[in-house]
A and B are shown apart, each in its own frame.
Chain A
């Protein structure tokens, strides 16, 4: 199956700074790459996703970039706010829509 690595495991940034989280995967046939945000005690919420035919996607302060050749994709959050503090999971979807999750990044935005 797919092997997904996510780094860093913890990240602290000052409010207003940018945060970057990176994931690598092993199966070149994987074609769907969502990012989920999970606040304490809450459900994972999709924040952005990208498909394999696109290199970059942006939604306001959040962007995702995909490098299919190198098999990695990254989440970029600009102008971070305290409410961005949460655990972020990347996932990799295969042709059968089975998701393989990264190990998570605990992001803390310091006011």
Chain B
């Protein structure tokens, strides 16, 4: 099973709201990623977790807070977002951080009002 799942599919939130995005995989992968994708642009890496530890933070604003509760789950907590944060948020996973295929989830379409 090469499936990564994400919830919710769509999210609309105000700038003062707090919400969370969830990602799950049951492939035994030990690396998980958060990407942000704007329309007609490539995915931009935000965070990388390896063996449940934050490995890379690509200078993402603190209003985005990642969390990896266990090896199958990855969350992205959102607080005080701006309208320009509206985008498709993609989760991906790979076996580990050696050169390996990344499998993407379906994404959460986020709109910040």
Contact = CB atoms under 8 A, between A and B. Distances in A.
Contacts of A45: 104
B43 interface: yes
Interface residues of A, number: 24
A99 B98 contact: no
B13 interface: no
A83 B73 CA distance: 33
Contact of B42 (A46, A95, A98, A104): A104
Contacts, number: 54
A99 B98 CA distance: 11
Contact of A43 (B40, B55, B105): B105
Given A43-B90, A43-B107, A44-B90, A98 B99 contact: no
A44 B97 contact: no
A contacts with B: majority SS:
strand
A108 to B, nearest CB: 14
B41 A98 contact: no
Interface string B54-84: 0110000000000000000000000000000
A30 to B, nearest CB: 9
Interface of B: 31, 40-43, 45, 48, 55-56, 90, 94, 96-107
Interface of A: 31-32, 34, 36, 42-46, 49, 51, 87, 89, 93, 95-99, 101-104, 106
